[in-house]
Structure 1
Amino acid sequence: MVCPHHLPSTRIAWFRRKEMLQISEGTKLGVGIDKDRFLISGNHSIGDFNLHISNVMESDLGQYVCTVVIEDTSVQIIFNLVLKKAPTGLNIYVVNTSKNKSNTFLEESTKVTVTENETIKLYCNISSGIPEETLEWVYRGNVIKTGGPGSIRLIMKSTHTNSGQYYCRANSSVLDTPLTKSIEILVHYKPKVTLSVGNAVRIIEGNSLNVYCNVDSSPEVQSVSWLIQNNGETRKYGDGRVLQITVITRRDTGVYICKATNMVGSTMAETSVTVMYAPDVTIVYENYTVNAKSRKLVCLPKGVPANYTFFQWQHKSEYGDHIRFLDGSEDGILLLPKSKDFNSQYYDNGVYVCTVSNGIPGVSGNSSRTASVHLSISGKPMFVEDNRRFSYGVIKESVEIIINIFSNPKYSDIFIHNQNGEQLISDKSNFNIIEEHTFVNDTFYNSNVRVKGYRMTVKIAKLRPEMIQNYTLNLQNEFGQNHYDISLFRASVPRIPMNLTLSTKEGNVLVSGYVTSMVG
Structure 2
Amino acid sequence: MGLRIRISQLFCLFFTFSELLAVTVLYHFENDTVVLPCEQLSNEQIVWQGPEKYSTYGYGDIINPKFSKSNRLTIIHVNGSPHYNLQIRRFSSEDEGNYKCVRGSGGDEFFTLTIGTYPRNLTIGEEDSQHIVYGYLNHVLDLHCSVVHGIPNGKLMWMVHNQTLEEKTTASLVYSFKPKQQDHLQNYTCATKSDISQYYMERTVQLFVFMPPVVLISLNKTLGITEGEDLTLYCNYSSNHEVKELKWEEMFQHKSPLDERSQYLTIKSINRQHAGKYRCTVINMAGSASDIVTIEVYYPPTVLVTFEDHGNYRQLNCEAHGVPDQYIYKQWEHRSDYSDLIRYLPDDGSGRLILPNTTGETDRHHDRGLYICHASNNVSLNGSNSFVRGEFFLKAQGKPYFVTSNNNTQYGIKGQVGNLTVDFVSYPEITIFTVIGEDKIHCNDNYTLETWRLMDKVYNNTVTVNGSRLVISMNIENKHDFRSYTITLRNKFGLANFSIYFRLRQLLYNYIKLEETL
Give the Cα–Cα distance (whole angstroms) in 2 for the partners of residues 351 and 4 of structure 1.
122
Task: Deviation per CA, 1:401-431: give whole Å up to 9, x if none.
Answer: 76443355777999989877263848xxxxx
Summarize the Cα distance change of 1:423–1:180 in structure 2 as closer, same or farther, 3 Å threshold: same
Q: Provide the secondary structure at the position in 1 that maps to 2:366.
A: helix
Report how far residue 215 of structure 1 moved: 3.6
Task: Deviation per CA, 1:283-317: give whole Å up to 9, x if none.
Answer: 2349x9xxx99966554333567688999865443
2:143 alignment counterpart: 122
TM-score by length of 2: 0.62
1:98 alignment counterpart: none
Report how far residue 56 of structure 1 moved: 1.4
Please say if residues 92 and 109 of structure 1, whose CA atoms lie closer than 8 Å, have aligned partners that are also in contact.
no
The one-letter amino acid of 1:91's match is T
Report how far residue 92 of structure 1 moved: 1.6
Q: Which has the higher strand share?
A: 1
Report how far residue 375 of structure 1 moved: 1.7
1:385 alignment counterpart: 404
Task: Deviation per CA, 1:419-450: give whole Å up to 9, x if none.
Answer: 77263848xxxxxx79684351223xx43241
2:30 alignment counterpart: none
1:168 alignment counterpart: 190
2:92 alignment counterpart: 56
Which consecutive residues of structure 2, in runs of 5 or more, have no partner in the other structure?
1-34, 40-44, 508-518
Report how far residue 90 of structure 1 moved: 0.7
Q: Which has the higher helix share?
A: 2
Say whether 1:143 aligns with 2:169.
no
1:88 alignment counterpart: 120
Report how far residue 21 of structure 1 moved: 0.9
Say whether 1:197 aligns with 2:211.
no
Summarize the Cα distance change of 1:58–1:17 in structure 2 as closer, same or farther, 3 Å threshold: closer
Q: Provide the secondary structure at the position in 2 that maps to 1:223.
A: strand
Task: Deviation per CA, 1:372-417: give whole Å up to 9, x if none.
Answer: 2122245675420231211356889999976443355777999989
Give the Cα–Cα distance (whole angstroms) in 2 for the partners of residues 74 and 486 of structure 1.
156
Report how far residue 75 of structure 1 moved: 12
Give the Cα–Cα distance (whole angstroms) in 2 for the partners of residues 118 and 350 of structure 1.
76
Please say if residues 93 and 108 of structure 1, whose CA atoms lie closer than 8 Å, have aligned partners that are also in contact.
no
Say whether 1:438 aligns with 2:457.
no
Report how far residue 267 of structure 1 moved: 3.6
TM-score by length of 1: 0.62
- Count how many residue pairs are aligned between Structure 1 and Structure 2: 455
- RMSD over equivalenced CA pairs, Å: 6.0
User: Which structure 2 residues correspond to residues 36-55 of structure 1 after superposition, within 5 A?
Assistant: 38-40=72-74, 51-55=87-91
The one-letter amino acid of 1:321's match is L
Q: Provide the secondary structure at the position in 2 that maps to 1:257.
A: strand
Identify the match of residue 447 of structure 1 among 460, 478, 481: 460
Give the Cα–Cα distance (whole angstroms) in 2 for the partners of residues 143 and 75 of structure 1.
40
1:226 alignment counterpart: 248
1:489 alignment counterpart: 503
User: Which structure 2 residues correspond to residues 210-221 of structure 1 after superposition, within 5 A?
Assistant: 213=235, 215-217=237-239, 219-221=241-243
Q: Provide the secondary structure at the position in 2 that maps to 1:347.
A: coil
Task: Deviation per CA, 1:170-196: give whole Å up to 9, x if none.
Answer: 245799895222445544454454554
Identify the match of residue 352 of structure 1 among 364, 371, 376: 371
Give the Cα–Cα distance (whole angstroms) in 1 for the partners of residues 274 and 76 of structure 2.
96
